[in-house]
Amino acid sequence: MSDRFARDLLAWYDQHGRHDLPWHHNRNAYRVWVSEIMLQQTQVTTVIPYFEAFMQRFPDVQALAAAPEDDVLSHWSGLGYYARARNLQKAARTVVDEFGGEFPADQGQLESLTGIGRSTAAAILAQAFGKRAAILDGNVKRVLARYHAVPGWPGQTSVLNALWTHAEHHTPDSRVRDYTQAIMDLGAMVCTRSRPKCEQCPLQDGCTAYAKSEVSLYPGAKPKKAKPEKTTWMLILEDDQGRILLERRPPSGIWGGLWSLPELDPALGADELPEACGQTFGFDCGDAELMSGFRHTFSHYHLHIQPARLQVAAASAVADHSQQRWLHRDEALTLGLPAPIRNLLTNPEQATLI
């Protein structure tokens, strides 16, 4: 192994790296793929219990492909970025239908699957098949940006291309499975976003940013834009049996495909909610009981949620259909719910900032 970068990194990994993560056991393309998708923008400690529960319910790609979408979303509830779960199942069905249930060991074919990009495809090739393939997730971008002092935000095409060049150069021909885990571990454990542990870094001697005492400057920050603020009423409509009404959200967009609470125009006053419920849903409702409001932050805006509880007259409650269901709380909690809605239904008297 001629590259000093890879040699020093692997020596560190052998002594300090993570060798016992759940997806390291019974390692195959399916388990590697699910872990890689879960780990996108999510920390390992958060992912582990989700991964284990997911594998118990969907042990192979066939089980995932055949499962009801609600079941998949329910096992993803709380991880966020729910398009990942929908894309995961869509790709699973493609693997079953077009690849005979076996993941292809080819970069281009892997990238043809919904939700799999260049780095994820490479991780599957390296981790599951032992093939030489360069990865470039968030941790790797940070390590390489600092080591080579690559200026600029990695979201810019020119910066990203420069980082890919370095990633390709340093990826060794041997021990590629260990190398890809090692560079991810270094970014997660040592070359962290804030307060990096440079004194513990095996790459310190060759790190340009460290030599220039400019580690904090790399990678360059994303240009900041103020996030818009939005507001909505969220209604806990309860019938005489103690059931609440849930609505399935559209398949695309925020919380796509998940079950959530009905919403009304935030411009309405609290005293206008009963009449608005009648006009919008056809229900005869009692006065609105306001609950503690809270704010939920998405990647591109803040949403201020004002919950209100309204009692629905028995005669006006409508029957279930594909996009609306009346459920007791314990039943509702088995569905795929956004985290703030799950919290609201679990602790209705203690709606807190999320």
Range(s) of the chain covered by CATH 1.10.340.30:
1-131
d(Cα 22, Cα 315) in Å, to the nearest integer? 51
**pLDDT > 70 in the chain, percent:** 95
- Mean of per-residue pLDDT scores for the chain: 92
For helices 29-39 and 44-57, what crossing angle results, to 10°? 140
Give the pair of three-digit tokens for residue 206: 């060759």
Residue range 279-284: average pLDDT?
87
Q: Residue 315 above 70 pLDDT?
A: no
Answer whether 262's CB lies under 8 Å from 237's CB.
yes
**pLDDT tens-place string over residues 127-170:** 999 999 999 999 999 999 999 999 999 999 999 999 999 999 99
Backbone angles phi, psi at 250, to 5 degrees: -55, 155
Range(s) of the chain covered by CATH 1.10.1670.10:
136-170+190-223
Strands 229-238 and 302-311, sheet pairing: parallel
pLDDT value of residue 354:
32
- Is CATH 3.40.50.620 the right assignment for the domain spanning 229-346? no
**pLDDT tens-place string over residues 187-206:** 999 999 999 999 999 999 99
Strands 244-248 and 259-260, sheet pairing: antiparallel
More confident residue, 280 or 192: 192
The matching CATH number, chosen from 3.90.1150.10, 2.60.320.10, 3.40.1160.10, 1.10.1670.10, for 136-170+190-223 is 1.10.1670.10
Range(s) of the chain covered by CATH 3.90.79.10:
229-346
d(Cα 62, Cα 88) in Å, to the nearest integer? 12
More confident residue, 323 or 118: 118
- Is CATH 3.40.1190.20 the right assignment for the domain spanning 1-131? no
Residue range 329-333: average pLDDT?
91
Active site residue ranges: 36
d(Cα 111, Cα 127) in Å, to the nearest integer? 16
**pLDDT tens-place string over residues 220-237:** 998 888 889 999 999 999
Give the pair of three-digit tokens for residue 306: 């004002």
d(Cα 89, Cα 333) in Å, to the nearest integer? 21
For helices 176-189 and 4-16, what crossing angle results, to 10°? 70
Helix (H, G, I), strand (E, B) or coil at 350: coil
pLDDT value of residue 320:
58
Q: Residue 118 above 70 pLDDT?
A: yes
